[in-house]
Structure 1
Amino acid sequence: MSVDGWNSLLVLGGIRSGKSEFAESLVADAPTVRYVATAGEGDPEDTEWATRLAAHRARRPGSWTTEETAADPGRLTEVIATAGPNETLLVDDLGGWVSVLLDPAHQPADDRATIAELAAAVRASAARLVLVSPEVGLTLVPTTPLGRAFTDALGETNRAIADACDAAVLVVAGQPAWLKPAAPPRPVVPAQAGPGQAGVPTGPATGQPAAVPGPAEQALPEVLAPAPPPAPAPAPVTEAADWAAPTMALPMVATGLTIQPGMELPMPDDYTGPQAVDRLATLDIPGAGLGALERVVGFAAATQGTPTPVPWSSVRVLLLHGDHAGGASAGAAPGESARRAEQARAGKGALARLAAESGAGLQVVEAPASAAMEDGPALTADQVESALRYGWRLAEQAAEAGVHLLVLAACGAGTEAAAAAVLAATAGAEPPAVLGRVVTERGEFDDVAWMARCAAVRDALHRTRRAARDARDVLAELGGGDIAVATGVLLGATARRVPVLLDGPVGVAAGLVSRDLAGQARHWCLLPDHGGQPAVRLAADVLGLTPLMDLRLDLGEGATALATLPMLRSVLALAAGLPVHPSLRAEDDDDFVEPQPAGPGPATTEPEPTPPPFEPEPTPVEPEFAEPEPAGPGPTTVEPDEPVAVPDSPGRRAD
């Protein structure tokens, strides 16, 4: 389920308002859902009611489980109270529950006490909870005692549950109106506006929509600012000087950026991707095709907006360095992440070597250090805001520099535990299941450190079990600086139509968080490989990203993406450079016959022993095609005593 700022939600609406469909859409991304049905089967002869129940059942995915509570109104309270923190419950609806509550079979009973017990269970529930209820308070007061008892009890139930829930929404004619909390204002970042459109500023290099300038914002913390580039000095003549890639340090630029939930950012082209994949079937390829790598062609075509995409020529790697304190970094050698960052700045190490081999630039980004998540928030709200804006600017600066592809990488201590905490909070994952084992410097497994990391994530999730789950809260409480900067990078890259290669837990965790801010961001991301990491596998499944390969490289975050980059470029080069198969060219388009062929042809070989060029055709249509000027040599340009090669034309007889 997406990060949307609530753990429990009440969905209100009138009859046929679309409230149930809206509630079901909110939990569509959850791995599993327990559907709690409160309504009874009703009168067996009431076919219309049976049809409604059947329609509800048909909409539920096969992975959902259904639990009936119509027999006992106290059963709903029990189900909610015993649900675990990794479960998602959809209760539909409270109107049926109130009907059971008022049934004479359950009287005498203290209805208000039962409603209060249900509200207390909702307030204390650790599960992800969506409750649907009809809103009948806008109608006339019923004229019957039973009708008045129902509306009174339902109104009191709705008030109690709305007070207990984190959020409430009213669905009117299929349109949701958020009641609690209030709907956020619309962002100032423009949606898919074209270059040069009135009122939409564009970037100087790419012509893509830029952020609308706003009031001056506060300076970012010093830890976020990249170090100024050192004075140029002659490179030492060493073996490494031939392949070491320089690290770029970019200046900060004030943009007046506003990042808010629900931003409308550009989407890749819906048509060019399928067109590019369909075009692959027509290419002159001796084998069966590109296999799973066809998705690379479709992704590049959609993000480039053309059915014939070209290989990414300008690539930049953003290496995020930010340590996490506390149990998240258990088992990490002190100072090891800083050494890796300095190594990359010097153009050394696995990541720098792969970047140089791929011709990619490498930029080391210092993210804010994160506090121990088990003791309190990892970041302050101001640090989260600054990190998001800084990541956005990094992507903007890359786009303005002509970068065609970004690669996200990270080297901080404790990043795996922070990503596991984000995954558990946003997708309902079990931390031990998504937290990879700790490997020491000697290549040995440190299970004690792994248990310490699991305990830190568990304690952090318990501490925040009743906290809001919107993007900023998740980043502040659990994610930390590197994931916050990575989230800003994804949003900024989406705004500037720059695709991103994800590689490792930090990138996929940022992808999960970015859904609450802009759902379009994940469509600009490509996952070359899962690296054998369980967190990446599960996050990719939630994001809808299918890894292209299964190499299981473990060279550090970002290295796998760079290792696969030459292959991805080769696939795009083939897709863009190979011609259409000759059989399809001759049949579909005569324009392809005119270019000089790669092998022997009529211009370089002796003419084939064909029938005389001027032999009358047996068909009666020859006079129609003899009058126009021929495309190649003919009787008007060639001496009569020379043999003539007959060009392929619509009037030529089939051999």
Structure 2
Amino acid sequence: MLADTLATLQPADRAIAADVTAHLDSLTKPPGSLGRLESLAVTLATITGEAFPRVAPPGALVFAADHGVAVEGVSAFPPEVTAQMVANFVAGGAGINVFARQIGARLEVIDVGVVGAVAGPGVVDEKVRPGTANMVEADAMTRDEAVAAIEVGIRAAERALDAGCRCLIVGEMGIANTTASSALLAVLTESPVAGLIGQGTGISTERLAHKEGVIERAIAARAPDRDDPLEVLAKLGGLEIAAMAGAYLGGAARRMPLLVDGFIATVAALLACRLAPAVRDYLVFGHRSREPGHGHALASLDARPLLDLELRLGEGTGAALAFPLLEAATRMLSEMATFEDAGVAASQAP
């Protein structure tokens, strides 16, 4: 499945951009007066290949998995919170539930690697293994397990599209996943760990220093080849991070706009781009997280997010909050009158 997806994935349709830009300039407004909303509309058209793209309804995919490195004390919360939060998703009480309801999103929660049974019905069981190994002591997973987790994400993206979704919001839940994401980012961008890590779920300054040391020890012990993204993922990553990368790959292969959330989601997007550079064409970045590493991850993808609300929750919440801007961009294209239609004189400026 992964090989077929990589073979199918093509760059976005840039040829349509000129026609869409010309249409935007014919609308009843000064050219360019709606700023980044206009460039967003052009981006959505190139992604979908449609002059009048639609992004509603969106599909929100939340992938959940545990991390063996949590035993090193890198998070403010104990590992059992992963399963407890999955139950909260199912019950409809989490932040992503609130925002998904607000925007009319189809929400799916996928267990890629939660330790133990997940309480409550409504979770898609795609468990590859019950959590990763502690990456300080062993590879987080095997290469085959990394591929299997990526394919979980590809299938989830395809289910969303088949259900009628026209845009993907990809989120996550996994205690200690900022640790795994920081390790991945440090290796993939050859950056010092110290500049990438933040409070995550709210750890103290002392524990932050400890977290830095844990990541550095893991990278030194695993010594992954940065030019082999699958190896980096297998040695240092997380099952839900792999699945998120897979969702980006699967969505891009089906020409869906991919609305990227915060730090962990952006690292997963970077990983997907390392596997298939054409994925970058399909990414729209929802917001800038408070996590220090997020700025580095965004810079590595030459990305400018739509929002900056100082969020650091994850789950896909920041992307969900940004979704109305995508819908506004598409409605501008399809519903705003042209100068000719409205009988309004166009600008005579040279």
TM-score (norm 1): 0.47
Structure 1 position 346 matched with structure 2 position 91 = yes
Q: Given that residues 64 and 112 in structure 2 are in contact (C-alpha distance below 8 angstroms), is that contact kept between their aligned partners in structure 1?
A: yes
Deviations 1:248-274 (A, max 9, x none): xxxxxxxxx242897451221112234
Question: What displacement does 1:292 show?
Answer: 2.0
Q: Given that residues 290 and 571 in structure 1 are in contact (C-alpha distance below 8 angstroms), is that contact kept between their aligned partners in structure 2?
A: no
**Distance in 2 between residues matched to 1:263 and 1:315, nearest whole Å:** 25
User: Which SS does the other structure have where 2:252 is aligned?
Assistant: helix
**Distance in 2 between residues matched to 1:584 and 1:456, nearest whole Å:** 63
**Distance in 1 between residues matched to 2:35 and 2:73, nearest whole Å:** 40
Report what 1:540 is aligned to: 298
Q: Given that residues 259 and 323 in structure 2 are in contact (C-alpha distance below 8 angstroms), is that contact kept between their aligned partners in structure 1?
A: no
User: Which SS does the other structure have where 1:379 is aligned?
Assistant: coil
Structure 1 position 394 matched with structure 2 position 137 = no
Report what 1:357 is aligned to: 102
Structure 1 position 316 matched with structure 2 position 59 = yes
Report what 1:510 is aligned to: 268
**Distance in 2 between residues matched to 1:466 and 1:576, nearest whole Å:** 48
- Select the residue among 16, 27, 48 that pairs with 1:283: 27
Report what 1:307 is aligned to: 51
Question: What displacement does 1:584 show?
Answer: 9.4
Q: Given that residues 425 and 469 in structure 1 are in contact (C-alpha distance below 8 angstroms), is that contact kept between their aligned partners in structure 2?
A: no
Structure 1 residues 295 and 415: CA distance shift in structure 2, 3 A: farther
Report what 2:324 is aligned to: 566
Structure 1 position 425 matched with structure 2 position 187 = yes
Structure 1 position 266 matched with structure 2 position 10 = yes
Deviations 1:496-517 (A, max 9, x none): 1122111022221122222332
Structure 1 residues 306 and 260: CA distance shift in structure 2, 3 A: closer
**Distance in 2 between residues matched to 1:332 and 1:587, nearest whole Å:** 61
Structure 1 residues 506 and 535: CA distance shift in structure 2, 3 A: same
Structure 1 residues 558 and 564: CA distance shift in structure 2, 3 A: same
Which runs of structure 2 are paired with 1:160-175 in the superposition (5 Å)?
Answer: none
- Select the residue among 440, 454, 464 that pairs with 2:212: 454
Q: Given that residues 329 and 417 in structure 1 are in contact (C-alpha distance below 8 angstroms), is that contact kept between their aligned partners in structure 2?
A: no
**Matched residues, number:** 327
Q: Given that residues 261 and 516 in structure 1 are in contact (C-alpha distance below 8 angstroms), is that contact kept between their aligned partners in structure 2?
A: no
| Ranges in structure 2 where 5+ consecutive residues have no aligned partner | 114-130
Question: What displacement does 1:481 show?
Answer: 0.6
Q: Given that residues 199 and 291 in structure 2 are in contact (C-alpha distance below 8 angstroms), is that contact kept between their aligned partners in structure 1?
A: no
Deviations 1:437-485 (A, max 9, x none): 2454xxxx51122122211210111123364641221111011211111
Structure 1 residues 586 and 353: CA distance shift in structure 2, 3 A: closer
Structure 1 residues 574 and 468: CA distance shift in structure 2, 3 A: closer
Question: What displacement does 1:404 show?
Answer: 0.6
**Distance in 2 between residues matched to 1:520 and 1:366, nearest whole Å:** 28
Structure 1 residues 571 and 477: CA distance shift in structure 2, 3 A: same
Structure 1 position 434 matched with structure 2 position 177 = no
Q: Given that residues 264 and 518 in structure 1 are in contact (C-alpha distance below 8 angstroms), is that contact kept between their aligned partners in structure 2?
A: no
Structure 1 residues 450 and 275: CA distance shift in structure 2, 3 A: farther
TM-score (norm 2): 0.85
Give the AA of the match of 2:144. Answer: D
**Distance in 2 between residues matched to 1:264 and 1:333, nearest whole Å:** 40
In proportion to residue count, which structure has more helix? 2
| Ranges in structure 1 where 5+ consecutive residues have no aligned partner | 1-256, 589-655
**Distance in 1 between residues matched to 2:5 and 2:19, nearest whole Å:** 32
- Select the residue among 478, 490, 497 that pairs with 2:248: 490
Deviations 1:103-159 (A, max 9, x none): xxxxxxxxxxxxxxxxxxxxxxxxxxxxxxxxxxxxxxxxxxxxxxxxxxxxxxxxx
Structure 1 residues 275 and 532: CA distance shift in structure 2, 3 A: farther
**Distance in 1 between residues matched to 2:6 and 2:30, nearest whole Å:** 47
Which one scores higher on RCO, CA 8 angstroms, separation ≥ 6? 2
Q: How high is the sequence identity, in percent, across the aligned residues?
A: 26
**Distance in 1 between residues matched to 2:288 and 2:169, nearest whole Å:** 15
**Distance in 2 between residues matched to 1:498 and 1:585, nearest whole Å:** 36
Q: Given that residues 261 and 314 in structure 2 are in contact (C-alpha distance below 8 angstroms), is that contact kept between their aligned partners in structure 1?
A: no
**Distance in 2 between residues matched to 1:423 and 1:290, nearest whole Å:** 34
Give the AA of the match of 2:53. Answer: P
Structure with higher Rg: it is 1
User: Which SS does the other structure have where 2:171 is aligned?
Assistant: strand
RMSD: 2.5
